[in-house]
Amino acid sequence: MSITAEETRERMEHFVEACRRAGVKLTHQRLEIFREVARTTAHPDAITVYRGVRRRIPTVSLDTVYRALATMVELGVLSTLGSSREKVRFDANTRPHHHFVCVRCGIIRDFYSDSLDQLATGEELEDVGRVESAHVELRGICSNCASQAIQD
């Protein structure tokens, strides 16, 4: 669940450095909020981070945690898990397929790939567990947006 103190320290330095470079203020709250995510591999959600930080800073507010986490994602020192944060979307395509999401226009296109369908058989995962299904989401610029790039 937790990582080495050494690696946590590296991540903290990385964070401090990124704030300096971006001109983002290094507040007590932000330091503790980042530390709370950096010290574990548990991929905590906002509430969990909030509860952890509150042990050290009893007056933090949940919205500060939200704002700080968003800032850190922008800085590139944190990432969000799972697919793009949005409402649920539905799909009536029952053939095995995967999704390409255009980061510019948001369109989601199905594509088919035998090699991706075979993911469940990967050997890297022997010690992790038995894979039942694979969800692959590739992000990039769709060909349509790419051909309109001149207009930007």
Residue ranges in contact with DNA by CB under 7 A: 19, 24-30, 45-47, 57, 59-64, 66-68, 70-71, 85, 87-88
Measured from the CB atom, the residue of 27 and 113 that comes closer to its own copies is 113
Q: Is 98 in a helix, a strand, or coil?
A: strand
Separation between Cα atoms, residue 78 and residue 87, nearest integer Å: 22
Binding string to its own copies for residues 37 to 76, with x set by CB under 8 A, is what?
xx--xxxxxxx-x-------------------x--xx--x
- The interface partner of residue 106, options being DNA, its own copies, none and the CB cut-off 5 to 8 Å by kind, is none
Cβ 17 to DNA shortest distance, Å: 12
Within a 10 A sphere around the Cβ of 45, how many other Cβ atoms? Answer: 11
- The interface partner of residue 26, options being its own copies, DNA, none and the CB cut-off 5 to 8 Å by kind, is DNA
24 touches its own copies by CB under 8 A: no
Separation between Cα atoms, residue 115 and residue 133, nearest integer Å: 14
Measured from the CB atom, the residue of 26 and 120 that comes closer to DNA is 26
Q: Is 13 in a helix, a strand, or coil?
A: helix
Are the beta carbons of 1 and 42 closer than 8 angstroms? yes
What DSSP assignment string belongs to 99-128? Answer: EEEETTT--EEEE--HHHHGGGG-STTTTT
Binding string to its own copies for residues 93 to 132, with x set by CB under 8 A, is what?
xx----xx-xx----xxxxxx-xx--xx-x-xx-xxxxxx
